[in-house]
Amino acid sequence: MSTSTPPTTRLRVSLLAVAVTAALSATGVQATAAPQPDPTSVTVNAAFEQAADKYGVPRDLLVAVGYGETHLDGHHGQPSQDRGYGVMHLVSNPVNHSLAKAAALTGHSRAELRHDTAANIEGGAAVLRAHADELGLNRAERRDLGAWYPVVARYSNAKGATAALYADTVYRFLAKGVTANAAGEKVTVAGRSVAPDKSAYRNTLKADGFGTMSEDYPPAHWVPASPSNYNSGRSADISTIVIHVVQGSYDGSIGWFQNPEAESSAHYIVRSSDGDITQMVRDSDTAWHARGGNPYSVGIEHEGFIDNPSWFTDAMYRSSAALTKHLADRYGIPKDRAHIVGHSEVPGNDHTDPGPNWNWDYYMQLVGGSGGDNPPPPPPPSTGKHWVDTFADAPGYASPSDTTETGTLNKGTNYVYCKAQGRDITDNSGNHNHWWLRTDLDSGPGGQYVPAYYLSRWGNDEARDNDGNEIPDC
């Protein structure tokens, strides 16, 4: 994730706007008769009311769509993994242009729609209304929550079963109700019985494969990712399980991994609200989720955003932990924090998920393994110990061994964490040393040991980084 945060326009409470809205509601006068206030001066609740009224979208439906996308968290204008912005997740990527559509419909700039919550909510309402018009909903139908089902499905920009799955999620929130904190405000939707009009999507779930269960993990749905987003087969045995947070919604992530332009995927995705799981890449294939860690790992994505703990429900933890336990048992992976790791702990990655709100102690307890100490994260490039050395280059160098083949560890490309004593190794030039360095090379968090040979800047039995600092013992 980017560490830069663009300027954010904070919503200011406008007592006048609240008073006007209350007065109009009491007298039965339509709010559209009043001048529209500057969207940066209204509360979140008022923004939903005004956007719903202006575009003829049911207010509770508008809230439920936003809650399903982001839990009503705009994330300070930072994009989701598929480049969606704001509370309503207005998207700008090669296949979804809802941000541009919202700008054209509302007159707000794309920057406003990304960073201003009230403008973003208006943009979401405008896009929903445009879809309703395209589908021919008349005024009476627009008053019926159930009639909006195909509109909500279309808002997802997905096709077939994935779009239906998205709409089902929104209508589940309408049935259960919503309570969320948005910019310090409490936003609610009262639960009610709704009969969505699914006629346009009848049987599409089964037809598109959502009725098929996973062969690798039978409790999961099987929905294949685009073949453009993963490699067939593996080049290494499975030894690690990587925990991710997708920075987006469950349904949106399924659609994104089906998109050939995504250039990313995961083996499994877990839903926040109920722990539902979809598998998108077979265990035997290599998903693109953790850079150099891809060949030896299984990636599990979790719906949500790392900075909002409301996504990490007990249902999600329990369902994900059951999957992880199954994978560990099936592939002989130790149930510890050296082999069940976060994306941020995989060497060579610059991501921060699952982040500080992920409860590792509880998760490992559910998995049935040992928590133990967290594996040391790979040092970032600015602080890592950059190395120039010779190291074993043959299979089997994973621990101090009798390997004598050599290769070159190029300056600035790998990191060394610590050193341990092992069998004395002599290279082709006669240099020798019995120190072995734990690096980020290959198979798993913390990498593997490689032999450290004598260099002119070292004394015997020493291992120092390029700045001359001694490497600590493992």
Higher pLDDT residue, 17 or 152? 152
- pLDDT at residue 128 in the model: 98
According to the model, what pLDDT value does residue 322 have? 93
Each residue's pLDDT tens digit, 434-473: 666 666 554 444 455 666 543 333 344 455 655 566 667 6
Closest CA to 66 of 90, 82, 37: 90
pLDDT above 90 coverage of the chain, percent = 49
Residue percentage of the chain with pLDDT more than 70: 67
More confident residue, 243 or 248: 243
Classify each residue of 248-263 as buried b or exposed e, where b means 16 or more C-beta atoms within 10 Å of its C-beta: bbbbbbbbbbbbeebe
Residue 400 has pLDDT above 50, yes or no: no
d(CA 197, CA 264): 34
* Three-state secondary structure readout of 204-253: HHHHCCCCCECCCCCCCEECCCCHHHEECCCCCCCCEEEECCCCECHHHH
pLDDT of amino acid 410:
37
* 132 vs 424, higher pLDDT: 132
pLDDT at position 162: 80
The pTM (predicted TM-score) of the whole model is 0.62
**Letter string b/e over residues 383-402, b meaning 16 or more CB atoms within 10 A of that residue's CB:** ebbbbebbbbeeeebbebbe
Per-residue pLDDT, 446:
47
Q: What is the per-residue pLDDT across 42-62, written as a single tens digit (0 to 9) for each?
A: 799 999 999 999 999 999 999
pLDDT of residue 430: 55
